[in-house]
Amino acid sequence: MQETGISERLSQPGGNKSLSQSSLLRAGGNQSNSAGRGLTALPDSVFHYHILPRLPPEDWKSCSLVNRRMNQITLSYILSPPPIRRYLLPHVNSPGVNVDNEFSLSRFTSVITPWLDRCDASLKKALNYCTNCEDFPLLLCGAVGIQLREAASVQLKGCENFVQHGKLLTCVAPGRYELIEYPPALLSTSEWHKTNCCQGSEENDTTDFCTTLDQKRFARLCQEKVLIHELGQDSLFHKVAQCDAQLPVMFAQWSSCGQLLLTLTKKKASLWSMKSADVWEEEIHTAISSRLLEARFSPDSCTVVCLMEHQRMKRGDSNWSAFSWCRKNGLWIQDLPWKLPEEQNERLLVGSVFSKNSTKLALRFEYHVQVWCRSKKNVWEPESVLSMNWAESSPYTVSKHTESVAFNIHGQVAVAWTLKPPSELENSKTSWHTGIVVWNASRNPYKKQVQITTKREECEVNPSSYNTLSLFFSPDGRFLIGSDNCKRTNVWCQVPEFTPPDVPEPENS
């Protein structure tokens, strides 16, 4: 009886107009749909089953969501409801982000609702009817993600913030402050917390041991062996196993989960995993003949990418190559060779960063960023090239230094570049600027949403150091944080620009 009643209510706005997923993404509508960014932009199954049945008739009738098959579709969903997680997880499946906490009902009321009021207040009303849904955090996360991704442009509003003892306190709503954790990569690498270690390097800040992110294991390089220690119940580290690489180990790095260890010798790269409490075995290895530029584990620890640098004896410069491993059906395999464009192969590669859901990899070059994506054929392919096109009237130009790249859980990517001043101001430290651009990376081609500049202030902590900016997003993806090596932090709130939907004028009788 209940199912029939719901389907009957849904059939009231029925008719004979067609509704498809593409039309939902483009729809204008009102109330729960705003310039294609409302709840109707969620997947059909999620919207029909989890949203429409909870809206009162006066709200969903005004959406003009007319579908001749809505009655049958919705009834089938009620009898066999699809899980929301199946549809929304690709955007929010990010290790280290607790969706249930970041998008809880309490945060919706105190933090996210004021934010929705700034971009689209009608969404707040629609979401209020869904608060009793078991998967409400996923619905809220999906709704916030749609607002950020589908906005034609966003504004970066500066937020008050304080930094003390490695903690970032940020104003997230009027009269409300929240602690935001710095990513582990931004913690000091000159102290005990290190996730990679080297042996025989000329650099001063390297060491022969490295710890996992949770600091419950550490590995120590000892010639051909890597000694693995674990934290015991007595709060002491005990040697539990060793990895025998047969050649002196020059580099080691832990995965983010702390269950995998990458090692490099002069002849091969190896991946090790724990088979039992005291046994670690080699999962896969690849022969190498060049210098390691960078090794990167994906956030889900299911992919390893190694970027290698090759020296050209005749020309005196260098180019780079890449190989990667992935875990498939419980086994580690080597991916197909990377097809590197020749023009990109000769550019200076600065570094790399994975997206939060581990499906994309951004490579930082001199003047641009190249984003790669794993295809359905298990091949890494170039997807987009991001560059900063500055205004012709601006006296600043992009120098050959891409400072930082960051992804959030909603499919956006932010890039920071060093902006070079005019020649007459090059010697002035305060004349340099940083340019920041945010793109919607969930569609191809990527769409630029905002571009700003920030002035570089002289570094009082270490005046001789080169001031670089590191970007990262807050766990809920709404705030962009920039932290420089002078211990200064800027926080910007992303506010999507809201364009009210077109309301047709009433016809004259």
- For residue 248, is it within any domain? yes
Residues 212 and 252 in one domain: yes
**Is residue 224 over pLDDT 70?**
yes
Lowest-confidence region among 93-107, 173-187, 317-331, 438-452: 173-187
What's the whole-number mean pLDDT along residues 420-424?
67
Strands (E), 356-396: 360-365, 368-374, 380-387
Q: Quick one: 16 exposed, middle or buried, by C-beta within 10 A (0-12, 13-18, 19+)?
A: exposed
- Between CA 63 and CA 498 the distance in angstroms is 18
- Whether 102 maps to a domain, the answer reads yes
Where is the domain boundary, 239, 271, 289? 289
- 122-176 per-position pLDDT tens digit: 778 778 888 887 888 888 988 898 889 888 899 999 999 998 877 899 998 888 9
At 230 the pLDDT is 94
pLDDT over 80 (residue 278): yes
- The answer to whether residue 375 is domain-embedded is no
Q: Considering only CA atoms, which of 283, 282, 290 is closest in space to residue 265? A: 290
158's torsion region: left (phi>0), alpha (psi -120 to 50) or beta? beta
Predicted confidence at residue 119, as pLDDT, reads 77
Same domain, 265 and 331: no
Which residue in 433, 406, 272, 284 sits closest to 352, CA to CA?
406
pLDDT top residue among 108 and 379: 108
The yes-or-no verdict on residue 19 having pLDDT over 50 is: no
Percent over 70 (pLDDT), the chain: 67
Where in the sequence is the domain holding 32, given as residue range(s)? 2-150
Q: Within this chain, do residues 166 and 54 fall inside the same structural domain, yes or no?
A: no
**Among 229, 264, 289, where does a domain finish?**
289
Residue 372 falls inside a structural domain? no
The mean pLDDT of the chain is: 76
271 and 344 both lie in a single domain: no
Please check the confidence at residue 23 and state whether its pLDDT lies above 80: no
At residue 29 the predicted structure's pLDDT band, cuts being 50, 70 and 90, is very low
Q: Give yes or no for residue 239 having a pLDDT over 90.
A: yes
**Domain identity same for 399 and 486:** yes
- Average pLDDT over every residue of 323-339: 88
> Which pLDDT score, from 0 to 100, does residue 126 have?
78
Q: 393 and 480 share a domain?
A: yes
Amino acid at 507: E
Residues 224 and 296 in one domain: no
The answer on 132 and 15 residing in a single domain is yes
Same structural domain for residues 326 and 441? no
**Is 162 part of any domain?**
yes
Q: Which of the listed residues 255, 289, 323 is the one where a domain comes to its end?
A: 289
Does 189 score more than 80 pLDDT?
Answer: no
- On whether residue 505 sits in a domain, the answer given is no
**Percentage, residues of the chain above pLDDT 90:** 30
Range from 18-27, 256-265, 290-299, 473-482 carrying the lowest mean pLDDT: 18-27
Q: Do 49 and 133 share a domain, yes or no? A: yes
Are 136 and 216 in a shared domain? no
Identify whether 431 is part of a domain: yes
Tens-digit pLDDT profile for residues 80-118: 666 666 656 555 556 667 888 899 999 999 999 989 888
In a domain, 425, yes or no: yes
Domain count, the chain: 4
Of how many residues is the chain composed? Answer: 509
pTM summary value: 0.80
Co-location of 274 and 246 in the same domain? yes
Q: Are 54 and 47 in contact (CB under 8 A)?
A: no
